[in-house]
Structure 1
Amino acid sequence: MARFRNNKKKGFVKPVVKKQPGVDHVTGEKIPHSIVFSRGKIPSSLKQLQMDLRKLMLPFTAVNLKEKRRNNLKDFLNVAGPLGVTHFLILSKTETAPYLKVARTPQGPTLTFKIHEYSLAVDVAQSQLRPRCPQDLFKNSPLIVLSGFGSGEQHLKLTTVMFQNIFPAIDVNTVKLSSCQRIVLLNYNKDTKFIDFRHYSIRLQPVGVSKRVRKFVQNHQVPDLKNLQDVSDFITKAGYGSESEVDDEAATVTLTSDLGRINKASSKSAVKLQEIGPRMTLQLIKIEEGLCSGGVIFNAYGNEAEKKKEVKEEEDKINEEDADEDADED
């Protein structure tokens, strides 16, 4: 019996390259993921600060994490491995002050900061005449900039490494300018030993272009020319032609690629930072080897017993609350 020959050519099937979860396909490095939660009872203002920190850590964090009062540190640690979580940010409150712990999972170290002052993102926005928050602002991770940490002291080196590893590393040769929209700035004051924590949005403006022309290009709005003799008057009209802000030469960059409709490659653009919050004034008081436990590598209070008591007060109160909650459930 004759066989029918299939004349159709078999198409070449391109092999599918599976991306490893939690790994940057460009740099090949593991992408840090974080969980922001609280321990013990905290006031509503600290709860809002917790939500602000979750939003700051986007997109590699659990922004809608639902906590329960009976959850303890071991519960979060059990889910950290399967979910690829690398860092914990833990808020707590004692009678003296609120605290922020930044820990590396699963084995530490843990940095404990005392929060001397803080402002919520909504407070920062209300203090501004024109707050700025585009929809895609939190689509990519922020850049991290550390200032004043180069004194060579061991505890400052550990702080530098910890904050650098919280956010994904970038490859300057392949990173897209459009993904660099936020920046987290940490400035260490060696006199007060305080750390100023700030969060800004980044935007670029072409140098030498009036505000009126920028708005026309960006918004596609048809200009009102009925009172003008010529279209050139729209650009050179007094009060508008020289309306572009004074550009500091140190704050300008030359773009290597197009960014939006008005920032073109090989042209100079001014870098503008606008604070979006939250902001905090932190003091590093303790570094532990393990995850919220273990040997103390650094203690800001030295061997003074009274001041050590203030540092330990936070842990004692949290442990008491956890014990009370477990007893109530039983």
Structure 2
Amino acid sequence: MARFRNKKKKVFIKPVLKKKQPDVDHITGDKIPRSFVFSRGKLPGSLRQLQADLRKLMLPYTALKLKEKKRNNIKDFLNIAGPMGVTHFLMLSKTATAPYLRVARTPQGPTLTFKIQEYSLAVDVAQSQVRPRCPQDLFKNSPLIVLSGFGTGEQHLKLTTIMFQNIFPAIDVNTVNLSSCQRIVLLNYNKETKLIDFRHYSIRLQPVGISRKIRKFVQNHQVPDLRSLQDVSDFVTKAGYGSESEADEEAATVSLASDLGRVNRASTKSAVKLQEIGPRLTLHLIKIEEGLCSGGVIFSEYENHGVKKTQQEEEEEEEEEEEVEEEMVED
């Protein structure tokens, strides 16, 4: 007698295609800036974490899990930068005395070299706060960029302004979606110290004149505990009509053009709150080169201001130039 075999049906699972990020900015018509954040040479653990923080800051248009190998040189990164549409390199390095950050435009420069005077990691900033805030969707959109103190008319500050303005996508104030504006990068130049304070904040809006209890009730749809109250009106009266944390300053309030969430409504005043999420950097611009880590020197902090370099600083600069020359040579 013939046997009948049950043939298992093959199940076809349709692959989930990831939404492709746009290549062209609908505002400027130019390519959307993308970045690589990587290191040159061996870095200690704290600088490795700073590199991870910078990658997260540059989201979503960066390679968050970029793999590096010791034998990789700058040309290796440059060869894959073109097909992937990468426009900027952020390179961390460490000498015997100080860490450095290079910001370069691909493929032909210029390159800005900053000495990192001080830095704090994102985890350190969060631990210093009573209520750290970092929602999951905070890094779905690029941050806004705000530059302060760079309008002195000096050429090296103009180049610094152009570099940082072009490292993030441009926005149109008239058509921008308010829900996409969740982060801000602030760069403040101090004319006296010649240092740049680099800060990274999250943006949130709070309606003016509404207490924290009522605001949380509307946002989270959580049923409040009314067991100790005689009436619902007691909950509102006890919560109050003002802000429990701090008074709302008139200068920090804005009128929204459209609804934003369940609480912030159009044509109503909302207070703008900035909360630092890190990393925090204090940078000193020491050199600008025409090319990608090479070429003529457009600006030098020591030469342009008549400051004599110490022997240690000269040795560090020669060491960096030798490393760059070795990296640019083909294997």
Query: Could you state the TM-score of these two structures normalised by the residue count of structure 1?
Result: 0.88
Question: Could you tell which deviates more after superposition, 304-313 or 176-185?
Answer: 304-313
Question: Match for residue 56 of structure 2?
Answer: 55
1:39 aligns to what?
Answer: 40
CA RMSD of aligned residues (A): 2.0
Residue 164 of structure 2: aligned partner? 163
Name the residue aligned to 1:16. none
| Cα separation, 2, equivalents of 1:32 and 1:252 | 32
What TM-score do the two structures reach when normalised by structure 2? Answer: 0.88
Q: Tell me what 2:8 maps to.
A: none
Aligned-pair distance for 1:20? 9.6
Conserved? CA contact 1:94–1:317, under 8 Å: no
Q: Any stretches of 5+ residues in structure 2 without a counterpart? A: 1-19
In structure 2, the residue corresponding to 1:256 is in which secondary structure?
coil
For residues 119 and 305 of structure 1, what CA distance do their matches in structure 2 show? 28
CA contact (8 A) 1:27 1:171 kept: no
Q: Is the contact between residue 92 and residue 314 of structure 1 (CA under 8 Å) also seen in structure 2? A: no
1:295-314 equivalences under 5 Å are: 295-302=296-303, 304-306=308-310, 309-310=314-315, 312-314=317-319
Counterpart Cα distance in 2 of 1:153 and 1:294: 21
Does residue 318 of the first structure (1) align with residue 323 of the second (2)?
A: yes
Matched, 1:283 2:284: yes
SS at match of 2:56: helix
The aligned residue for residue 97 of structure 2 is: 96
Contact 1:40 1:321 in 2 (8 A): no
| 8 A Cα contact 1:86 1:104, kept in partner | yes
Determine if contact 1:89/1:100 at 8 Å carries over to the other structure: yes
| Equivalent pair of 1:206/1:270 in contact (CA under 8 Å) | yes
Q: Deviations over 1:86-140 (max 9, x none)?
A: 0000000000100000000000000000001000000000111110000100000
SS in 2 for 1:234: helix
Deviating beyond 4 angstroms after TM superposition, the runs of 4 or more aligned structure 1 residues are 319-323
Question: 1:172 deviation in Å?
Answer: 1.0
Letter of the 1:66 counterpart: K
Q: Which amino acid aligns with 1:108?
A: G
Query: How far apart, CA to CA, are the structure 2 residues paired with 1:102 and 1:320?
Result: 17
Percentage of matched positions with identical amino acids:
78
Name whichever of 284-293 and 27-36 sits farther off. Answer: 27-36
Alpha-carbon distance change, 305 to 229 in structure 1, aligned in 2, over 3 angstroms: closer
Match of 1:37, SS? strand
In structure 2, do the counterparts of structure 1 residues 21 and 261 end up closer, same or farther at CA, with 3 Å as the change threshold?
Answer: closer
**Counterpart position of 2:5:** none
SS in 1 for 2:137: coil
AA aligned to 1:156 is L
Change (3 A) 1:230 1:27: farther
Q: CA deviation at 1:198?
A: 0.3
In structure 1, what is the Cα distance between the partners aligned to 2:188 and 2:108?
A: 27
Cα 1:314–1:180 shift into 2, 3 Å: farther
- What secondary structure is seen at the aligned counterpart in 2 of 1:200? strand
Partner Cα separation in structure 2 for residue 322 and residue 29 of structure 1: 30
CA apart distance, 1:316: 4.4
Q: 2:14 corresponds to which residue?
A: none
Q: Once the 2 structures are TM-superposed, how far is the Cα of residue 312 of structure 1 from its aligned partner?
A: 1.3
Tell me which moved more, 44-53 or 239-248.
239-248
- Cα offset, 1:174, TM superposition: 1.2
Q: For the Cα contact (< 8 Å) 1:40–1:322, is it kept in 2? A: no
Distance 2:316 2:183 in 1: 33
Partner of 1:84: 85
Q: Distance in 2 between the 1:185 and 1:158 partners?
A: 17
2:3 matched to which residue of 1? none
Does the Cα contact within 8 Å between 2:75 and 2:327 map onto a contact in 1? no
Give the Cα–Cα distance (whole angstroms) in 2 for the partners of residues 220 and 33 of structure 1. Answer: 39
> How big is the shift at 1:230?
2.2
Write the distance in 2 (CA, Å) between the matches of 1:107 and 1:91.
Answer: 19
SS of residue in 2 equivalent to 1:137: helix
SS of residue matched to 2:37:
strand
Contact 1:124 1:276 in 2 (8 A): yes
Report the CA distance between 1:27 and its aligned residue: 4.5
Give the partner amino acid of 2:60: P
The reply to whether residue 231 of structure 1 matches residue 232 of structure 2 is: yes
Helix, strand or coil for the counterpart of 2:123? helix
Q: Distance between the aligned counterparts of 2:325 and 2:22, measured in 1?
A: 38
Q: 1:73 to 1:40 in 2, by over 3 A?
A: same
Cα offsets for 1:11-59 (capped at 9, x unmatched): xxxxxxxx99511245433210000000011111111000000000000
> 1:1-330 to 2 correspondence within 5 Å?
22-237=23-238, 240-244=240-244, 245-302=246-303, 304-306=308-310, 309-310=314-315, 312-316=317-321, 318=323
Partner of 2:201, secondary structure, is strand
The one-letter amino acid paired with 1:230 is D
